[in-house]
Amino acid sequence: MTKEVYRSANGKTVDMGALRLQNEKVRAVGNMRVNARGDEIDDNNNIIRKKSEQVKGQYQKQTNQPRPNSKDENQT
């Protein structure tokens, strides 16, 4: 249970955390073709790439850069 329980102007309580979890696989509003979790989806709302895979790919792209070797710099 989340602590994100709010009271509306009409006096009703709204649990925003439960609402977010309930709708996390629904297409997000916008033109990015993602669901509410951030997964890439196609036109039929099928997941193409999960958000965790996207993050892993970005991390691999950043960490696999060749680093200059200190021995090569001292020889020039």
- Contacts for 69-73 with beta carbons within 8 Å, 24 or more apart? none
Residues whose CB is less than 8 angstroms from the CB of residue 27 and which lie 6 or more positions away in sequence, other chains included:
34, 35, 41, 45
Residue 73 pLDDT: 54
- Average pLDDT by consecutive 10-residue portion of the chain (76 residues)? 85 93 91 93 94 93 74 56
pLDDT, position 64: 75
Give the pLDDT confidence score for residue 70 in this predicted structure.
58
